[in-house]
């Protein structure tokens, strides 16, 4: 998914979408083809880098070991 910022009607909106289509209006499309936002008019569109949180791995616990698909 990509984070988009869209300025429309003087307000900046942040939308997560997979892609966008611009025709009569701007449509932001999510995973699976669902429309997640429609803008009839807009001043600008920016792609914003998505910052992901680092994965923190804890110490493995031996109190309740999980089965390892044997």
Mean pLDDT computed over 38-48: 96
Three-class secondary structure of residue 53 per DSSP: coil
Taking the C-alpha atoms of 11, 12, 16 and 20 in order, what is their torsion angle to the nearest 10 degrees? 80
Give the pTM: 0.67
39 beta partners: 26
Backbone angles phi, psi at 45, to 5 degrees: -135, 130
The pLDDT value recorded for residue 25 is 96
Q: Is 28 exposed, middle or buried (0-12, 13-18, 19+ CB in 10 A)?
A: buried
């Amino acid at each position: 998914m990509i984070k988009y910022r869209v300025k429309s009607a003087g307000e900046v909106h942040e939308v997560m979408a997979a892609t966008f289509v611009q025709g009569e209006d701007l449509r932001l499309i999510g995973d699976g083809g669902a429309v997640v936002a429609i803008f009839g008019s807009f001043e600008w569109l920016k792609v914003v880098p998505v910052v992901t949180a680092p994965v923190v791995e804890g110490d493995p616990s031996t109190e309740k070991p999980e089965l390892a698909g044997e």
